Amino acid sequence: MTVEAREARQPFILLSPALVSVLLLLIVPLCFIVVYSFWLRTATGADQVGFYLDNWREALSDAFYRDILLNTLKIAAITTAVCAVMGYPAAYVIARSRGNKALLLLLLMLPFWISYIIRTMSWINILGASGAVNSLLMTLGITDEPIRMLYNEASVILGLVHFLLPFMILNIYVSLEGIDTTLEDAACSLGATRWRTFLEVTLPLSLPGLAAGGLLAFVLAAGTYITPIVLGGPTDAMFANLVFEAIITQLDWPLGSALSLMLLAVLGALVLLYNHFLGMGQLMKGLS
């Protein structure tokens, strides 16, 4: 083997562990899901092997699934907007801080050290009927009985924001860190106010990070099922809950596979649109 041939193979050899992992953990399971989606669940509870379109016909034509999907996209969009509004000022403060940036980043990372499920369930102790907020309100005499703050759409969005806000902040922070601050100083030296400098220099240059954080928050919010189970009510189910219900509770793998692929197609289309207009480079920076 020539030296050129060995050098040409070297990248593939180095990447082979990652490629095998992706193949075994992502591609192969996805192929199984695709195959399962065309099987048929019989009345006896057994799966009938074959090529049937019944699951897809039900998933695409039933108004129940369509409404849940639209509600999922709505909750994900609201969550993303709230994360953007709350995350940008926090990311700006971290990026422009001089002496305590490492400490602020460490504080931002702290939630990742605690299980997502525990963080979600902690809201029950905060907003529940006997939680901290209701106890404080009744102690102060503001209300005579507990206020219902859980098991509705607002509490689901609150839990999702709690989970996804660090991802948004990190993406915006990376984008702000990449901006040459001399551009802001130059704008100020030319007579622009701090606010105008922010609107016309800082904000436009940081939009890729904001878009990357928005995409990440939207996709993760639309695909989650823990938060609606813990903090949502009977009418606040999201599409991932339908997949969980079909596969885990009803053991209807064919229908669950079709539903999961339906959600994957919607979110995949969104990611492709993002990649077409903005590229995935900024998103990878935020995740790294």
For residue range 66-125, list pLDDT tens digits in order. Answer: 999 999 999 999 999 999 999 999 999 999 888 788 899 999 888 888 888 899 999 999
Residue 168: the pLDDT is 94
Q: Which of 69, 42, 67, 66 is nearest to 54 (CA)?
A: 42
Query: CA torsion 204→210→215→216, rounded to 10°?
Result: 160
Q: pLDDT per residue over 209-248, tens digit each?
A: 899 899 999 999 999 989 999 998 877 788 999 999 999 8
CA distance 94 to 101: 6
pTM of the predicted structure, to 2 decimals: 0.87
pLDDT value at 164 more than 90: yes
pLDDT value at 282 more than 70: no
CA distance 82 to 75: 11
**Residue 226 neighbours by CB distance under 10 Å:** 18
Mean pLDDT of the chain: 89
Band of residue 278 on the pLDDT scale cut at 50, 70, 90: confident
Residue 6: the pLDDT is 75
Residue 87: the pLDDT is 96
pLDDT value at 258 more than 70: yes
Residue 133: the pLDDT is 93
Residue 79: the pLDDT is 97
